[in-house]
Amino acid sequence: MNKNYLLPGIVVLLSFSMIIFSTVLLPNFIFKPAPSEFAVKYTPLEAKGRKIYLREGCVYCHSQFVRPQDRDFGPLVMAGDYVYETPNVLGTIRTGPDLSNEGGKHPDAWHIAHFKNPRTTTPGSVMPPFVYLKDEEMKALVAYVQSLGKKRIVKYNRIYHPDELEKVLEKRKVNVDSSAAANAGRGIFQQNCATCHGTHGLGNGPNAIAIAKKPANFSRPFFKDYDDVTWFWRITEGVPGTRMPQWGKLLTEEQRWYLVAFLKTLPRENEVYPKAYETLDPERWNEQQKISAAELNSQKPAMIIETKGPPPGAGGGH
């Protein structure tokens, strides 16, 4: 062979083996998540159902992972949920809904009717009818679908409507008026919320500039009207139509109450919202940031939190 092509040949060989090593072999050596509480170990019937799921190609329309921005599909998944699954059925398209938390959403009879003709239970659905499944196949498939997510959705008992939140208040363990809770909330806020809402909650975090619907500025006077439950609900549910995620899926209930405690301490009366906000010039962004920071420092920053008055119900919290 021509010597001139020896070097290129070696380079192709080396770079390709490097790529295979780093993207095929390496993940299999170092990525070994421990089984989570929700990893499903399938019973024989469920395993059979899973085979039918693969055979019928359900994966071409249904995904099996929940993302932070998804609504209605229940709690987020974790890497450890998948350790008993092979072949993977992650899916890349959602012509139908995500099924990660399907287990326990509907009764078995609903599923059977739905498989036989999806339009009886879900008008307007484009799912093909699977009437031809034999009875025992149908049973296995339903068993599999009911196993998905190990009824996580039932366990977490999601809250969708503010009215139902009164129940949440009853089992609350965090004293949202204590400075301890507020300080805990501050940490959570800085880690999760500050990139959009800003470290002082003024709606001027670094990401704010790139978002069409601007993040809330908590110094706005109308936030005075928010009571604990409204704060909690808002954090839990996020804001549909904006980049605000459903924190109910990402943070525990306790963490969300800490956040409520922190948000309640932010100064409300003073408008420290930068005036030229809407017409911000990216070139001068740093400068303007400085101005608002200076403005802010002249006010009482929310970084050190003292609560007004004695905490009510002291001892009731933890």
Partner 1 sequence: MFFSDKENSASRNFIVTAVFWLVIGMTLGLTGAIEFTAPDLSTGVPWLTFSRIRPAHVNTVAFGWLSMANIGIVLYIVPTLTRSKLFNEKLANFVCLVWNLAIFGGILCLVNGYSEGREYAEFPVPIDVMVLTGLLTLSYVVYMTAITRTVKKLYVSLWYILGTFFWMPLVYFIGNRTFVRLEGLNDGIVNWFYGHNILGMWFTTLGVGIAYYMIPKLSGRPLWSHSLSMLGFWTIAFFYAPTGTHHILQSPVPEWLKALAVVFSVALVIPVITVLTNFFMTMKGNWWQLANNLPLRFVLTGAFFYFITCIQGPFQATRSINWYLHFTQWVVGHAHVALLGTFTFFDFGAIYYILPRILNRQFYSVGLARAHYWLTLIGFLIFFSSMTIGGLVQSAGWHAGIPVNQWGIEMVPYWILRAMGGSLMWFGNVLFLLNVIQTMRAVKPLDSPDVEPAMAPAKS
Q: Does 33 bind partner 1 (CB under 8 A)?
A: yes
Contact letters for partner 1, residues 72-111 (x by CB under 8 A) = x----xxx-xxxxxxxxxx-xxxxxxx-------------
Greatest CA separation found in the chain?
88
Question: Which of these ranges, 123-131, 172-180, 279-287, 297-305, lies near partner 1 under the rule CB under 8 A?
Answer: 123-131
Q: Which of 24, 34, 212, 303 is close enough to bind partner 1 by CB under 8 A?
A: 24
Q: Which of residues 234-253 bind partner 1 (CB under 8 A)?
A: 240-241
Is residue 160 a contact residue for partner 1 (CB under 8 A)? no
To ligand HEM, the closest distance from the beta carbon of 61 in angstroms equals 7
Tokens of 148: 């998905």
Question: Which residue lies nearer to partner 1 by CB, 93 or 276?
Answer: 93
Q: Tokens at residue 96, please?
A: 């139908």
Least Å from the CB of residue 125 to partner 1: 5
Place of tokens 């704010």: 208
Choose the one of ligand HEM, partner 1, none that binds residue 79, judging by a C-beta under 5 to 8 angstroms depending on kind.
partner 1
Which residue, 89 or 261, has its beta carbon nearer to partner 1?
A: 89
Torsion angle of C-alpha atoms 284, 289, 290, 291, degrees rounded to 10: 90
Q: Residue 255 is encoded by which pair of tokens?
A: 């963490």
Structure tokens at 139: 């049973």
Phi/psi of residue 97, each to 5°?
A: -70, 160
Among residues 56, 35, 64, the alpha carbon closest in space to that of 147 is found at 64
| Binding partner of 279, given ligand HEM, partner 1, none, CB within 5-8 angstroms per partner class | none
User: Least CB distance from residue 126 to ligand HEM, whole Å?
Assistant: 9
Q: Which stretch binds partner 1 (CB under 8 A): 62-70, 143-151, 260-268, 272-280?
A: 62-70
Distance CA 200, CA 208 (A): 13
Q: Contact between 118 and partner 1 (CB under 8 A)?
A: yes
Residue written as tokens 């380079």? 11
Token pair of 101 as six digits: 């938390």
User: Phi and psi (nearest 5°) for 14?
Assistant: -65, -45
Residues that bind ligand HEM (CB under 6 A): 60, 92-93, 95
